[in-house]
Amino acid sequence: MVVRMRATRSARNNRRSHHALQKPALTTDTKTGAIHLRHRASAVTGSYKGITVIDMDAKAAKKAKKAKEAQTAR
């Protein structure tokens, strides 16, 4: 199929005017001062809205165990 009407430069640029990249919305944690994305748990503390939702100690232990297993497999 062939496009019947060629889009003008103006129409093309008007469409692309909404394609600009935006800066991510960042929030600073009030207790620790860690910066994280809005509406998401902090990757440093594992807390969201003052509630700990991710056990960061267990996550670090799991990562260390996995790294140790990968080291011994070599």
Distance separating alpha carbons of residues 57 and 20, to the nearest angstrom:
39
Q: Rounded to 5 degrees, what angle do the CA atoms 35, 38, 44 make?
A: 35
Alpha-carbon torsion angle 43, 48, 52, 56, nearest 10: -10
The count of C-alpha atoms lying within 13 angstroms of the C-alpha of 74, restricted to the half-sphere facing its C-beta, is 5
Q: 8 pLDDT band (50/70/90 cuts)?
A: very high
pLDDT at residue 4 in the model: 83
Q: 69 pLDDT band (50/70/90 cuts)?
A: very high
The count of C-alpha atoms lying within 13 angstroms of the C-alpha of 67, restricted to the half-sphere facing its C-beta, is 6
Rounded average pLDDT over 36-58 = 89
Amino acid (one-letter) located at 70: A
